[in-house]
Amino acid sequence: MKVKLLGGGREVGRVGILLDDGAKRLLIDYGLNPGNPPSFPAASPPVDFALLSHAHLDHSGMLPWLSSRYNTKIYSTPLTKEISEVLYKDMLKIAESNGYPFPYGEHEMNISLSNFRLFDGNDVFKLNGYEIKFHPAGHIPGSVMIELKSHDILFSCDINTIETNLLHGAKPVKAKTLFIEGTYAGTEHPDRRQLEKEFIDEIEDVVRKGGKVIIPAFAVGRTQELAILLHEAGYEVWLDGMGSKIADLIIKHGNCIKSPKRLNKAMKSMNIVYSNHGRKLALKSGIVLTTSGMLNGGPVLWYIDKIKDDPKSAVFITGYQVEGTNGRMLMEKKEVNIYGVREKVDCKVKFFDFSAHAGHSQLVDFIKNVEPEKVVIFHSENPEALAQEIDAEVIIAENEKEIEI
């Protein structure tokens, strides 16, 4: 089998894995990096079908281009399709308002949405001589690892192996060849329970002193996980942005998470913000959970603008901040771009590492338990750190360079 990465080799993001077994060609994930402006993977040739591991745009964002062009069918879980649709629409809106050229529009998106074919976690399905099984990936709701049973290959795609409030960790699946993501190769995460405690303690501290807490959070996964945590800690929380819409979809496909009942209860306790009036009430009340997670737009900037000069208040960042984003600038320089003006921020700013990816040791353990003969590392800026710990043949994938497996 010949494999070529169209993107995602020695980099985190814009993943595209092209496979060719001599008879049929298929693509696993096809994403873009939704920066300003976005960056794209290499162009994919026509393929017989595409498999999508999860809805994040760095894995899904280019499928509308491919699918509308070649009428390619896309196989995913039902929840992944529904979340992808929300993210596509949001991305097209942002592309339009920023005025940069984009490889497809709403028409192409609609064609691709009609080309989705849905499979649940437990089915083995056969496509053009490939036998495929999805396994829960523990990364975001609806995410899967992809096993090509017919070829004895496992694609981890993005995984997390720890238990969170929202998801079970991914369990290893035996395979001869393993494609493993290495986002956090060489880096460990703090213990989740300890992190949660520290997060709640810090919120308590700010609230006690009369400050406001603004919590930017990714709409998919992070918002819902934090909603459960904050609700169960007894806080009254205001929720703004896309996270509540995504929560509705997750609850609708409740078998994708640990406890839909628990999430439902947390979401029912949230005060959802629908208007400017709601925003004022939210700010007055004190704890706001809101998009966007990297502060590159969305309601979060309105809130930060209001509290930025108040040293009693705080912005608690809850996810990785990509270079070049507003969130990264806030963490590094305590400055933030608000409506085109760069502003100094005097309130407290702190980062909490609630990651949706396995840390270094967790990746090493996972690989050991898959017992592969061959490991291909992708989706990583530091693949060597992982490579040196693997007791099997290791290939570090490079973009557009063919690998034989």
- Residue position matching structure tokens 């004190």: 286
* Minimum distance from residue 31 beta carbon to Zn ion (Å): 7
Radius of gyration of the chain (CA): 21
* Minimum distance from residue 322 beta carbon to Zn ion (Å): 11
Instruction: Name the segment binding Zn ion (CB under 5 A); options: 83-91, 152-160, 172-180, 332-340.
Output: 152-160
Q: Under rule CB under 5 A, how many of the chain's residues touch Zn ion?
A: 3
* 56 near Zn ion, judged by CB under 5 A: yes
Distance CA 137, CA 77 (A): 12
Check: CB of residue 394 under 8 Å from CB of residue 372.
Answer: no
* 10 near Zn ion, judged by CB under 5 A: no
Instruction: Name the segment binding Zn ion (CB under 5 A); options: 154-162, 188-196, 208-216, 394-402.
Output: 154-162
CB burial of residue 273 (10 Å; 0-12, 13-18, 19+): buried
Tokens matching residue 24: 């049929």
3-state secondary structure 28-82: EEECCECCCCCECCCCCCCCCEEECCCCCHHHHCCHHHHHHHHCCCEEECHHHHH
Check: CB of residue 168 under 8 Å from CB of residue 280.
Answer: no
Instruction: Name the segment binding Zn ion (CB under 5 A); options: 57-65, 233-241, 252-260, 368-376.
Output: 57-65
* 82 near Zn ion, judged by CB under 5 A: no
Q: What is the x/- site pattern for Zn ion, positions 302-331, by CB under 5 A?
A: ------------------------------
Residue 5 or 287: the one with the smaller Cβ distance to Zn ion is: 5
Q: Applying CB under 5 A, which of residues 58, 85, 196, 240 lies at the interface with Zn ion?
A: 58
* Minimum distance from residue 57 beta carbon to Zn ion (Å): 9
Q: Report the C-alpha dihedral over residues 383, 388, 391, 394, rounded to 10 degrees.
A: 40
* Minimum distance from residue 35 beta carbon to Zn ion (Å): 14
Nearest to 138 by CA among 242, 33, 17, 221: 221
β-strands 271-272, 238-240 pairing: parallel
* Minimum distance from residue 53 beta carbon to Zn ion (Å): 8
Q: Applying CB under 5 A, which of residues 90, 158, 196, 240 lies at the interface with Zn ion?
A: 158
* Minimum distance from residue 5 beta carbon to Zn ion (Å): 13
205: left (phi over 0), alpha (psi -120 to 50) or beta: alpha
* Minimum distance from residue 243 beta carbon to Zn ion (Å): 16
* Minimum distance from residue 140 beta carbon to Zn ion (Å): 6
> How many C-beta atoms lie closer than 10 Å to residue 203's C-beta?
22
Residue 56 or 360: the one with the smaller Cβ distance to Zn ion is: 56
Q: What is the x/- site pattern for Zn ion, positions 191-230, by CB under 5 A?
A: ----------------------------------------
Nearest to 112 by CA among 65, 49, 42, 45: 65
> How many C-beta atoms lie closer than 10 Å to residue 173's C-beta?
17
* Minimum distance from residue 100 beta carbon to Zn ion (Å): 22
* 189 near Zn ion, judged by CB under 5 A: no
Residue 161 or 313: the one with the smaller Cβ distance to Zn ion is: 161
* 81 near Zn ion, judged by CB under 5 A: no
* 240 near Zn ion, judged by CB under 5 A: no
Residues that bind Zn ion (CB under 5 A): 56, 58, 158
